[in-house]
Amino acid sequence: MGHKCYISFKQEDKDYKKKIQEWVDDDKIDMIDKSLNEPIDSEDEDYIMRKIREDYLSDSTVTIFLIGSHSSESLGEEEQKYIKRELQASLYDGKEGNSRNGILGVVLPDMYSAIYKGQYICSECGENHNAVYINNSTVIKEFSANYYLNNHGKCAYWEDDRYCVLVKWCEFEKNPNKYIDKAFDKRGQAIAKDVVVRP
């Protein structure tokens, strides 16, 4: 039996969500879909978080966040209120039966060039590092704050310094279970104690 996954997405990217759901139906992906298909109609943030958590996220273990061109913090609080609440609810570690989800960010093709900027030579260590632009112009803060979480004074962020997992859609499509497992495993790693729910 696969992980129970919640898919957080912007309406503009619904076709990618549908594609993941087709993989579930075709047994390409070993997951149970716990996604919300209609937004909760309320202005009460605490109510929204409680309803999402209780009705959709309470027994899920991984949240798949689809990162498209409409998923950035810079588009404003009102525009992003639902995906922000969904990630906050996913990151929240409450009482038993309400534990934190692993977070898997799937970068959609229209965002490859905005996020992945190649490699650069580090002025501190002289090694090559990947230039990955996870910031307010590419994602909401709930993701970026937990992707670049704690580098402990090193010259770059390494895998152990991130709670959120990041993958391009083309790689996720080849082996979705691998990346869902990776996000699930983060829940039990030391970095989980540094997670920020409301950055």
pLDDT in tens, 71-83: 999 999 888 988 8
The proportion of the chain whose per-residue pLDDT surpasses 90, expressed as a percent, equals 56
Look at residue 102 and tell me whether its pLDDT is greater than 60. Answer: yes
H-run or E-run covering 31: strand 31-33
pTM of the model: 0.90
Give the mean pLDDT of 46-68.
83
pLDDT in tens, 135-150: 999 999 999 999 988 7
Look at residue 39 and tell me whether its pLDDT is greater than 80. Answer: no
Say whether 127 sits in a helix, a strand or coil: coil
Give the mean pLDDT of 41-63.
79
Sequence-distant (≥ 6) Cβ neighbours of residue 118 within 8 angstroms? 130, 131
pLDDT, greater one: 76 or 44: 76
Report the amino acid identity of residue 70. H
Of 16, 13, 14, 1, the closest CA to residue 170 belongs to 16
Q: Which of 15-24, 42-51, 69-78, 87-96 has the lowest mean pLDDT?
A: 42-51
Torsion of the alpha carbons at 108, 109, 114 and 117, rounded to the nearest 10: 110
Look at residue 98 and tell me whether its pLDDT is greater than 70. Answer: no
Contact between residue 191 and residue 87 where contact means Cβ atoms under 8 Å apart: no
Rounded CA Rg of the chain: 16
Report the amino acid identity of residue 193. K
Helical ranges in the chain per DSSP H:
14-25, 45-52, 77-91, 112-115, 141-147, 169-174, 176-186
pLDDT, greater one: 189 or 78: 189
How big is the CA angle at 39 (ends 38 and 42), to the nearest 5 degrees? 140
pLDDT in tens, 148-164: 887 677 788 888 889 99
Helix and strand numbers, DSSP H then E, in the chain: 7, 7
